[in-house]
Structure 1
Amino acid sequence: MIRRNTTLEITQLLEEFPAVGVLGPRQVGKTTLAQELAATMTPQPVYLDLESPRDQAKLSEPEAYFEFHPHQLIILDEIQRMPELFSILRGVIDRRRRQGQKTGQFLILGSASLDLLKQSSESLAGRIAYKELSGFNVLEIDPTTVIARELLWLRGGFPDSFLARSDAASLRWRLNFINTYLERDVPQFGPRIPAVTLRRLWTMLAYSQGGQLNMAQLGANLDIASPTVKRYIELLEDLLLIRTLRPWSGNIGKRLVRAPKVYIRDSGLTHALLNLSSLDDLWGHPVVGASWEGFVIENLLSVLPSGMTPWFYRTSAGAEIDLVIEKNRQQRYAIEIKRSQAPSVSKGFYLGCEDLQATKQFVVYSGTERFPISKSVTAVSLPEMMNEISRW
Structure 2
Amino acid sequence: MYPRHAHQIVLSALDEQAAVVLLGPRQVGKTTLALDIAGTRPSVYLDLEREADRRILAEPDLYLDEQAGKLVILDEVQQMPGLFASLRGQIDMRRRRGFRTGQFLLLGSASHVLLQQSAESLAGRVRYEEMPPLLLDEVGKDRLHDLWLRGGFPDSFQAASNRASQTWREDFLRTYLERDIPALGPRIPATTLRRFWTMLAHAQGGLLNAAALAEGLGVSGQTIGRYLDLLVDLMLVRRLAPWHQNAGKRLVKSPKVYVRDSGLVHALLGLGTLESLLGHPVVGGSWEGFCLEALIAAAPPGTEPFFYRTSGGAELDLILRLPSGAVWAIEIKRTTAPKVSRGFHLAAEDIAATHRVLVYAGTRDVPVANGLRALPLGDALGLLRAAHDAGAGSLPA
Q: TM-score range by the shorter chain?
A: over 0.9
Q: Which whole-Å CA distance do the structure 2 matches of 1:248 and 1:223 have between them?
A: 31
Deviation at 1:251, TM superposition (A): 2.9
Question: Residue 164 of structure 2 aligns with which residue?
Answer: 169
1:124 equivalent in alignment to 2:119: no
Q: Which whole-Å CA distance do the structure 2 matches of 1:100 and 1:173 have between them?
A: 46
1:243 equivalent in alignment to 2:241: no
Question: Residue 152 of structure 2 aligns with which residue?
Answer: 157
Pair 1:128–1:328, CA change in 2 (3 A): closer
Aligned equivalent of 1:53, options 51, 57, 63: 51
Report how many residues are paired.
Answer: 387
1:4 equivalent in alignment to 2:8: no
- Report SS of the residue matched to 2:107: strand
Pair 1:62–1:214, CA change in 2 (3 A): same
Q: Which 5+ residue runs of structure 2 have no aligned equivalent? A: 388-392
- Report SS of the residue matched to 1:56: helix
Q: Which whole-Å CA distance do the structure 1 matches of 2:291 and 2:319 have between them?
A: 13
Equivalent residues of 1:252, 1:355 under 8 A apart: no
Encode CA deviations 1:339-385: one digit per residue, 9 max, x unaligned.
Answer: 11123211111110121121111100122210123232110111111
1:215-294 paired onto structure 2 within 5 Å: 215-294=210-289
State the one-letter code of the partner of 2:37. Answer: L
- Report SS of the residue matched to 1:149: helix
Deviation at 1:37, TM superposition (A): 0.7
Aligned equivalent of 2:341, options 337, 346, 357: 346
Question: Residue 307 of structure 2 aligns with which residue?
Answer: 312
TM-score, normalised by the number of residues in structure 2: 0.96
Deviation at 1:201, TM superposition (A): 0.4
1:1-392 paired onto structure 2 within 5 Å: 1-41=1-41, 43=42, 45-143=43-141, 145=142, 148-327=143-322, 330-390=325-385, 391=387, 392=393
Encode CA deviations 1:216-260: one digit per residue, 9 max, x unaligned.
Answer: 110010000000000000000000000000000003411000000
Deviation at 1:307, TM superposition (A): 2.7
Pair 1:16–1:323, CA change in 2 (3 A): same
Q: Which 5+ residue runs of structure 1 have no aligned equivalent? A: none
Following TM superposition, the consecutive aligned residue runs of length 4 or more in structure 1 with deviations greater than 2 angstroms are 327-331
Equivalent residues of 1:18, 1:104 under 8 A apart: yes
Calculate the aligned-residue CA RMSD, in Å: 1.1
Pair 1:28–1:328, CA change in 2 (3 A): closer
Q: Which whole-Å CA distance do the structure 2 matches of 1:274 and 1:94 have between them?
A: 50
269-278 vs 340-349, greater mean Cα deviation: 340-349
Equivalent residues of 2:300, 2:322 under 8 A apart: no
Percent sequence identity over aligned pairs:
53
TM-score, normalised by the number of residues in structure 1: 0.97
